[in-house]
Amino acid sequence: MNLRRSPELWRFAALVAIFVTSGLVITYLVLPPPPDDGPRPPPVLRVAQVPVPAGGDVVANALDLVRRYATGEIRIVLPDGSARALRRNDLGVEINRVRLAEFIREAIRPESALRRAHERKDEDAPLDIPIPLLLDSERAISMLLDLKVELDAPAVDAYVDLEARQLKPEKIGYRLDVYGTLARIDAALRAGEDTALASVETIAPKLVAEQLGHVKFDQVLGYFETRYATGAKSRERTYNLRLAASKLDGVVVMPGEIFDFNETVGPRDEAHGYRVAPVIAQGELVDGLGGGTCQISGTLHGAAFFAGLEIVERYPHSRPSYYIKLGLDATVVYPTINYRFRNPFDFPIVLHETVSGGVVRAEILGPSRKLTVTYFRRIDAVIPFEELERPTPKLPDGTRVLAQRGIPGFRTTSSRVVRDGAYGVREKWSDSYPPTTQIVHVGSGPRDLVVKGADDNHPEYVADEYLVVTQGPDVRTPGATGPEPGGGTVESREPGLTGGRGWTDRAGFGTFRVKDEKKDQRGEDKEGGRSRGEDAPPAEGADIVQRASEPAPESKARREPRGQKGPTADETKDDGKSKKRRRNKGEDKAEDG
């Protein structure tokens, strides 16, 4: 059927449309409108989980809660579970009142995007107001830096407590990330939280107790002793000796491992507990932090040397030391000049160093001693020291006081023979010690000035021209009656020119003479200040004092102009390899005595 040609159908469709539209209009006019419930109430607002009172000024009520929160404490939680409480006011927090008021207005306004988003999420839940606190970064960082000083700790390797004879477990080290912790505190404050997790870097120890389960330390593999003054004037130096030795005592060195003195002992500064005591700076003794540490490294070097350990890095002092034999010293300066050795054995070794009764003793401990070690030393040349006069108004005119005793320079050749039964290994090296300038203070003050000047109390430095020291399990120390852990030690000496008291006078070094100089009472077993009597024979080869290529020393002392310091020991010409090494390592820093 053709629709275009059926007018009856078109009329029927029009009538149906009219009836439907009329019905809809009549229904809309007849039915009542839906009831109007009014605007929805605003959500419950909270500040740091505390509801804001709805009555009165809501902004003022919220501001009061923010103030209470800002005056409270925030706890910084550490990795070990402990916490440190900091007052928020001490962090320099400030309230952003404008931001707080804007947020509350948007939360109350029905048509705001903030309110609509909250109602879509959960219209019955309270709405937490972000705490609008601004941190004073400078004050907060200052507080966290103080906390960092308290919390930072290096990792501690497992070690052997030699007094308790037991293995002590390792400790994990921590390093506080100041800026990371600051960001976490800022986020916690905005969220109204009372705790913030500290941002801490953990430092794992290199040696854990599991690796040392079967370490044996019953026998002494090598030992060495030096002496120190115990008087009241040496109290600070003795304190440094004990502190440095405590860092070494019980340290375990695994097979093939290289022991690093500076890494183990750490910085010698006030922050690490060290005190002011004499140190060597450019050949002169001056006060400095950590004085005495070189005696600990030197004594440890002697023990490692006679235990047959491989010496990886060692430097002599810029002047001979009275407490240790020439050629066996080991100077250290943190962090530039170091002392290191390697454990060549197939078993761990334990370091043991004590400071007591005027004696520093170092031992290398292990399961058993098999090696016998011999040290040979020969003095090849002696370099005269220079005498320098320094005018000072602190002394009466014409008064002369020995401020620093001169010490000649030495060039030595040393060797070590390590014997294991019928087999032996020999190594050879040279050391060079620049001369130490003799300094005489000459008074330029008023003649009636009453000052009691004291001469330098260091004795004349003496050293055997030839020295042989042997230590081993089958060696017996002359005169020893009891057991000797690690074996005995035997010394063979040839004093030569430099091994007798008064040798510097006979060689014509310096013009100043100390009145009524007493003989040194330190005993015959020690180089440096040892007395051998005035009848010591002159050396046979006295040419070691002055080579033909070196100019003869002047007999008169050089006078230094006022206000100008003379050349130091480092400026003395010296082609020794050891001095060049020290310069490359930064010898301008003070040696730790």
Give residue 558's pLDDT band: very low, low, confident or very high (50, 70, 90): low
Q: List the one residue out of 262, 252, 253, 248 whose CA is nearest residue 299.
A: 248
Q: Report the pLDDT averaged over residues 548-560.
A: 42
Hey, which residues does 442 pair with through a beta bridge? Answer: 391, 400
Structure-token pair, residue 55 = 């009555």
Instruction: Find out whether 396 and 446 touch, Cβ atoms under 8 Å.
Output: yes
Expressed in percent and rounded to 5, the helix, strand and coil fractions of the chain are 25, 30, 45
Question: Tens digits of per-residue pLDDT, 136-188?
Answer: 889 999 999 999 988 898 888 889 888 887 888 999 999 999 999 999 999 99
pLDDT score recorded for residue 569: 33
Which pLDDT score is estimated for 433?
A: 96
For 380-427, write each residue's pLDDT tens digit.
Answer: 999 999 999 999 999 999 899 999 999 999 999 999 999 999 999 999
Biggest alpha carbon distance in the chain? 157
- Interval 438-481: pLDDT, tens: 999 999 999 998 888 789 988 999 999 999 999 999 999 999 99
State the average pLDDT over residues 314-323.
93
In angstroms, the CA 108 to CA 100 distance is 13
- The amino acid at residue 130 is P
pLDDT tens-digit map of 476-530: 999 999 999 999 999 999 999 999 999 999 999 988 877 655 444 444 445 665 4
> 448 by DSSP, 3-state: which?
coil
Q: Per-residue pLDDT tens for 240-288?
A: 999 999 999 999 999 999 999 999 999 999 989 999 998 877 666 778 8
Query: Can you give the pLDDT at residue 56?
Result: 83
Amino acid identity, residue 574?
D
pLDDT band at 63 (very low <50, low <70, confident <90, very high): confident
Report whether pLDDT(333) > 80: yes
> In sequence order, what are the residues at sequence separation of 6 or more whose Cβ sits closer than 8 angstroms to the Cβ of residue 318?
280, 282, 283, 331, 433, 434, 569, 570, 579, 582, 587, 591
Tell me which of 14-28, 272-286, 505-519, 532-546 is least confident.
Answer: 532-546
Q: What is the pLDDT of residue 281?
A: 76
Q: Please, what is the average pLDDT of the chain?
A: 84
Task: Please give the pLDDT value at position 520.
Answer: 44
- pTM across the whole model: 0.71
The total of other beta-carbon atoms located within 10 Å of residue 188's CB is: 18
Question: 551 preceded by cis ω (within 30°)?
Answer: no
> 182-237 pLDDT, tens per residue?
999 999 988 888 999 999 999 999 888 888 878 899 999 999 999 999 989 999 99
Q: Residue-wise over 550-572: b if at least 16 C-beta within 10 A, else e?
A: eeebeeebeebeeeeebebbbeb
> Which pLDDT tens digit goes with each residue over 78-137?
888 889 999 988 888 888 888 888 888 888 888 888 888 888 887 778 888 888 888 888
Per-residue pLDDT band at 589 (split at 50, 70, 90): low
| pLDDT score for 391 | 94
